Amino acid sequence: MSDARFEDGVDKPLRLIAFEVDDLHVISTMVQDAVLPVSEMSWRPKERRFALLLNRFRWEATQLGCAERVQAVLSFEDVQSIQTQGFDRADPDSVLSLLNITFEADTDGTGYCIVTLAGDGAIRLKVEVLEASLRDVSRPYVALSGMMPNHD
Boundaries of every domain in the chain: 16-142
- From residue 69, alpha-carbon distances to 49, 55, 78, 87, 143 in Å are 25, 6, 28, 24, 6
Q: pLDDT tens digits, residue range 104-136? A: 999 887 999 999 999 889 999 999 999 999 999
Q: How far apart are the first and last CA of the chain?
A: 40
What pLDDT is stored for residue 59 in this prediction? 84
Q: What is d(CA 117, CA 125) in angstroms, rounded to the nearest whole number?
A: 14
What mean pLDDT is predicted for residues 12-40?
A: 95
What pLDDT is stored for residue 4 in this prediction? 47
Q: What is d(CA 57, CA 37) in angstroms, rounded to the nearest whole number?
A: 15
The helix/strand/coil state of 30 is helix
Burial degree of 1 (CB within 10 A; 0-12, 13-18, 19+): exposed
Q: What is d(CA 106, CA 130) in angstroms, rounded to the nearest whole number?
A: 11
pLDDT of 5 strictly over 80 = no
Question: What residues form DSSP beta bridges with 117?
Answer: 98, 121
Q: pLDDT tens digits, residue range 57-111? A: 998 887 767 788 899 999 999 999 999 999 998 898 899 999 999 999 998 879 9
pLDDT of 40 strictly over 90 = yes
What pTM was computed for the model? Answer: 0.86
What pLDDT is stored for residue 151 in this prediction? 64
Q: Give ∠ CA 26-31-33 in degrees, rounded to 5.
A: 135
What pLDDT is stored for residue 74 in this prediction? 98
What pLDDT is stored for residue 143 in this prediction? 78
